[in-house]
Structure 1
Amino acid sequence: MKKILLYSTLMVSLFALNSCNEEELDLKNPNTLTVDQFWKTPEDAQKGVNSIYAMFYKDGLWARWMYFRLDLTSDEGFSKSPWTDLADWTRFIYVDYKFWEGNVVTFRDSYKAIFRCNQVLAYVPDIAFEDENQKQQILAEAKFLRALHYFYAAELWENIPLVLTPLQPNDTPEQNTKEEVFAQIETDLNEAFNALPASWDEFNTGRPDKGAAKAMLAKLYMQQRRWADAKTAMDYLITGPGATYSLTANYEDNFTHNTENNSESVFEIQFGDQRLGGTGEDANAAVSTNRPQFFAPRGIGWSDGQARFWVVGLFKEEATLSGGIDERLRHTLFYPDQGADFGETTYGRNWEWDADEAFFRKGHRDYYRNNEDYYCQVNYRLIRYADILLMYAEALNQLGQTAEAYQYVDMVRARANMAPLATAHPEIGNNQALFLARLKNERVLELCGESVRWLDLKRWGDLESQAGVDVIKTRDADFNNFVVGKNIRLPLPQQEVDNNPNMTQNPGY
């Protein structure tokens, strides 16, 4: 499938200089355009919105460090990297709040992305378009992307500034609560939904459509435990006019570069390997992900992140209808018995691991090569339909419609050749608590290593009491360091607090 990468090859600097003479203002250097020189034409507007997508390729976000925050901090993953500072930031040992890789760069890149969104939303309305619909779609893209970046920032740090206009260097924005940020995200997503198309043509693959907006709304409502609102948002995707999605027949198709943007994809980040630069703003900047290089087994990658071995055991608790092991395991994890369990070869890889070790497999390229590097081209499926189906079941269960919820779990289980849930676990019946307990496992089996588990633990309230954390400890020893009321959020980067009198450090730090 032809992949269209959405990025701008021209990263424009749109800061006006504080001191310039009249002659300097007349300069027309296209690489140092000011706000007054740019934002004149629809082409400028398109470049501006494309520059937002380029933030997906920065190391603070989805090129590298976001996975450390979402996958390794959860009970699905951990780090025993020899880089102690880095490993400590996955096990709730936050000593240096200025630690770049663990904290600062993700905060910085989140707000760089938000700044680019705010530029589009501030300046594009004044640009004349022959096609008003095109203008509204560009503004809707910016609103969707601002909502997306604020969503993850609010889940990580919670108490953050809500900035809706382009910041100037000396601005000191007010700090907001997570609830206030979530309210703006809801507004942005609803407005984006109204203007986004139901689908894009092949030359615009990767841009959000109406389905993506509703999916993000559903995630937002789920995190707020607004079950009825979440169900309504997902109705659009499951039973409404946006019900165009379906599970792929082959589970692996969600994790290779040959089968991207398929029927199960609701929103995915478009990665490529055609540029082998760094993650800066130069013309050769990479548009790839580093995740496989950092998460690969020893002997192949840096092995800074790996999976908890309890996940392997969970996959083996229940046999398929054919009496075998759940096929999702082979595509989810690398682990020592993989060859014996599934008859797999290692494609010449020189893996090094202990008997009780597992590594995340999704997004790795072992299906066609025997090494990793910094330029993985496999798209990251940020939201896929299986996630929507399981969230829908969860919302129905929370609304007291447990009997209706079974069918959506069964759709996901059926692809894996697993028996219907009521057959495999008749003890659940219509008991909401038992259904949720089982659904927690179903989400691991389907979505392990896809950056949803940390959000799940927060939504379920498992991190809000010592009793809940004590249960997680039995699966993940790093939670012995977890302090209830404190570690549910990251410390704000200390320089942000020091430089902004309107910000205070998060509670407990």
Structure 2
Amino acid sequence: MKNLLYKITCILAFGGLVMSCQEEELNLDNPNALTTEQFWKTENDAQLGINSVYAMFYKDGSFQRWMYFRLDLTSDEGFSQSPWIELADWTRFQYINYNFWEGNVVTWRDTYKAIFRANQVLANVPDIEFQNEDDKKKILAEAKFLRALHYYYAAILWEDVPLVLEPSQPGDLHQQVPVEQIYAQVEKDLNEAFADLPLDWPADQVGRATKGAAKAMLGKAYMQQHKWQEAKEALDYLVIGDGAIYDLVENYKDNFTHLNENNQESVFEIQFGDQRRGGTGEGPDAAVSSTRAQFFAPRGIGWSDGQARYWLIDAFKEESTVDGDLDPRLQHSFFYPDLFEDFGDRTYGREWEWGEDEAWFRKGARDYYRDNEDYYSEVNFRLIRYADILLRYAEVLNELGNTSEAYQYVDLVRARANMAPLAVAYPSIGNDQDAFLERLKKERVLELSGESVRWADLKRWGDLETQASVDEIADRDPDFNNFVVGRNHRLPIPQDDVENNPNLDQHPEY
């Protein structure tokens, strides 16, 4: 009412000045809804901007929830018996509705939302005056790292997607490009990010991208393209180069709880917390936690929408430690019926009632201090840890014909689990590259199962490219009986996006 009276007074008193009076009213700044022009002015704005890109890890389509369904349950390590049939169908290659939100659209949306935020930083921060130009360079490098990370997973999941390098406008119709161009941009961003990222951060900034994280992601991108020499050069930095500051922690379990996070084995981990218990929107109470434990917990503890395949339990029991015991990694990787008998481990304070061939992922579960799960797990997700880098380095060396040199890096990982050196346990491998790779596939499962790397592994190894290899996978994961070679190696693009953008084509196999 006061606003209306003020306008009337303006009209009566100033007559011809009414337009300027109205403009003054319309141009008032709303501190709760700043425009792009009003923001991006100060160093603090730049910092808030890059923080908003990291915040995309806390959204449903990313590593807060649904990415694990895409990377863990769709692989031969996991599956779903969810009563929500359509959800379970999207882990067993039964793609009917390409617009299914939880199975496809939300991850597509949040991927490009993260890319949009990174693009905003890259477009606007260069014009902001900083007291220290190195601080500006770091922020721009972080944005390039995060844009590359999200494009890497877009390439893994959908392959040929739009390449967007500027802040989008509502009417933009972005051009789809082949996956090779996506990887080329990933490489460019990571190489440029590496130059300006620090080796490490102060304690109050831990969790931000580092030089090591950039080289690790670069190595992963090169490996997916079979650029073995380039991958070696990237991983050299972490293993034998100036970035060789990482090591394996003594206790394997420390990689999966909130008690020893950001430790010496962590190359890059997503920082989760339980201090806010809201939703996953943009409000001030938005959660910064993970729901993985809730969705993957055994029956009676969580929703049990994701389970582990039992062949993984058998794989751990194929070889004993040098002392004749079970591989200790099994205890910390899975819940399964004989867990108490094998390790004296009741978990969550009680014995279990489950089928004899059922198993659940344990990594990230909170049974070490509570008896149930919820939507607000504070356990960080170790997106890249040094054990993965060592096994990747061995794979790259083997592909380059340096099989004998590769053994030592596998042995470092095996030694923590008190397993005999590879050459002692499996002397028949020798310098046979194919035999070494087959064993390495098993070593990666034993060390990294349930850590969202298996789907990319299967693609890189070519195990999804022939019917014979898919049939082998189906022997341990019946969901792969639904897998169509040449089709299900990538997701369909959300159909609404295809229909609304003439520059975007649905994958021809769909």
Task: Settle same-fold status: TM greater than 0.5.
Answer: yes
Task: Indicate conservation of the 8 Å contact 1:299/1:351, yes or no.
Answer: no
Partners in 2 of 1:32 and 1:38 — Cα distance? 10
Partners in 2 of 1:95 and 1:147 — Cα distance? 30
**CA offsets, 1:403-458, max 9 Å, x none?**
00000000000000000000000110000000000000000000000000000000
Q: State the one-letter code of the partner of 1:412.
A: V
Q: State the one-letter code of the partner of 2:50.
A: V
Q: CA deviation at 1:276?
A: 0.5
Match of 2:3 in 1: none
Task: Indicate conservation of the 8 Å contact 2:82/2:306, yes or no.
Answer: yes
Match of 1:6 in 2: none
Task: Indicate conservation of the 8 Å contact 2:347/2:368, yes or no.
Answer: no
Match of 1:366 in 2: 367
Match of 1:9 in 2: none
Does 2:435 align with 1:430? Answer: no
Match of 2:107 in 1: 106
Task: Indicate conservation of the 8 Å contact 2:209/2:268, yes or no.
Answer: yes
Q: State the one-letter code of the partner of 2:188.
A: T
Match of 1:380 in 2: 381
Single out whichever of 391-400 and 340-349 deviates more from structure 2. 340-349
Does 2:257 align with 1:244? Answer: no
Match of 2:44 in 1: 43
Q: CA deviation at 1:60?
A: 0.7
Task: Indicate conservation of the 8 Å contact 2:348/2:372, yes or no.
Answer: no
Match of 1:450 in 2: 451
**CA offsets, 1:360-396, max 9 Å, x none?**
0000000111100000000000000000000000000
Match of 1:382, SS? strand
Partners in 2 of 1:349 and 1:108 — Cα distance? 40
**CA offsets, 1:307-353, max 9 Å, x none?**
00000000000010110100000000000000000011233247442
Match of 1:443, SS? helix
Q: State the one-letter code of the partner of 1:297.
A: P
Unaligned ranges ≥5, structure 2: 1-21
Partners in 2 of 1:455 and 1:327 — Cα distance? 26
Task: Indicate conservation of the 8 Å contact 2:273/2:288, yes or no.
Answer: yes
Q: State the one-letter code of the partner of 1:323.
A: G
Task: Indicate conservation of the 8 Å contact 1:293/1:374, yes or no.
Answer: yes
Match of 2:209 in 1: 208
Partners in 1 of 2:342 and 2:177 — Cα distance? 50
Match of 1:345 in 2: 346
Match of 1:194, SS? helix
Task: Indicate conservation of the 8 Å contact 1:299/1:352, yes or no.
Answer: no
Does 2:304 align with 1:313? Answer: no
Partners in 2 of 1:25 and 1:181 — Cα distance? 43
| Closer/same/farther in 2, CA of residues 498 and 288 from structure 1, 3 Å limit | same
Partners in 2 of 1:467 and 1:235 — Cα distance? 35
Q: CA deviation at 1:27?
A: 2.3
Task: Indicate conservation of the 8 Å contact 1:298/1:351, yes or no.
Answer: no
Match of 1:140 in 2: 141
Task: Indicate conservation of the 8 Å contact 1:45/1:124, yes or no.
Answer: yes
Higher helix share: 2
Partners in 2 of 1:399 and 1:31 — Cα distance? 56
Match of 2:356 in 1: 355
> What does 1:17-416 correspond to in 2, within 5 Å?
22-23=23-24, 26-349=27-350, 351-416=352-417
Q: CA deviation at 1:287?
A: 0.3
Task: Indicate conservation of the 8 Å contact 1:497/1:504, yes or no.
Answer: yes
Q: State the one-letter code of the partner of 2:126.
A: P
Single out whichever of 115-124 and 344-353 deviates more from structure 2. 344-353
Partners in 1 of 2:165 and 2:353 — Cα distance? 48
Partners in 1 of 2:69 and 2:218 — Cα distance? 24
Match of 2:462 in 1: 461
| Closer/same/farther in 2, CA of residues 507 and 30 from structure 1, 3 Å limit | same
Q: CA deviation at 1:467?
A: 1.1
| Closer/same/farther in 2, CA of residues 344 and 366 from structure 1, 3 Å limit | same
The structure number with the bigger radius of gyration is: 2
Match of 2:176, SS? coil
**CA offsets, 1:96-117, max 9 Å, x none?**
0010000000000000000000
Q: CA deviation at 1:147?
A: 0.3
Match of 1:12 in 2: none
**CA offsets, 1:277-309, max 9 Å, x none?**
010100000000000000000010100001000
Q: TM-score, normalised by structure 1?
A: 0.95
Q: CA deviation at 1:22?
A: 4.0
Q: CA deviation at 1:26?
A: 1.8
Length, aligned pairs only: 489
Match of 2:476, SS? coil
